[in-house]
Amino acid sequence: MKKNELAKKIYNISNIKGKFLLRSGQISHEYFDKYLFESKPDLLLEIGIQMKSLLPEKFDVLAGLEMGGIPVATVISLETGYPIVFVRKEAKKYGTCKLAEGADVNGKTLVIIEDVVTSGGAILDAARELRKLGAKVDLVLCVIDREGTGKENLAKERLKLVPLFTKSELEAAVKG
């Protein structure tokens, strides 16, 4: 599938209008409901295939953020063979009591995978915690960059954001 065609499909299936409170505390009248595209196997697979090209040459582990980053990271893992770690918003209080489940992160170079980024708050929290666990983290891939303050906020913490699509690119695809 061509990238422009994927952009149209993602926009048409997941762009909803209304009044939405974002994690950042901002109110938006437009929302990208990631679960609407992540729950479609054909779209999720194509997202994974196209996000493969955004990966760096050298890294060790994909880090899928709870909850929407996990299916995206999983399909990329299946496409590439790279191991994956599932990163919780906070460590469990029972069982293994881990923040990061799956692959070991200590001394490893991770690529964080997220679905939609506005301010980057969840990514910043996760990156700080992963670094405390000994991981090297400097790259974040996402499906949609809403073009909020995310890119700048992440850059302040030495994190580069690379989106498959920006909000502007999705809008241009449906208008074009």
Which tens digits make up the pLDDT trace of 44-87?
999 999 999 999 999 999 999 999 999 999 999 999 999 999 99
Helix (H, G, I), strand (E, B) or coil at 24: coil
Neighbours of 115 (CB within 10 A): 23
- What is the predicted pLDDT for the residue at 39? 97
Tally of structural domains, the chain: 1
Domain membership of residue 12 as a residue range: 3-175
- What is the predicted pLDDT for the residue at 17? 95
164, 144 contact by CB (below 8 A): yes
DSSP-H helix ranges across the chain: 3-14, 34-38, 41-51, 69-80, 121-132, 150-155, 167-175
Domain of residue 39, CATH code = 3.40.50.2020
- What is the predicted pLDDT for the residue at 95? 77
Q: What is the pLDDT of residues 22-37, one digit of tens each?
A: 877 889 899 999 999 9
Quote the percentage of the chain above a pLDDT of 90.
88
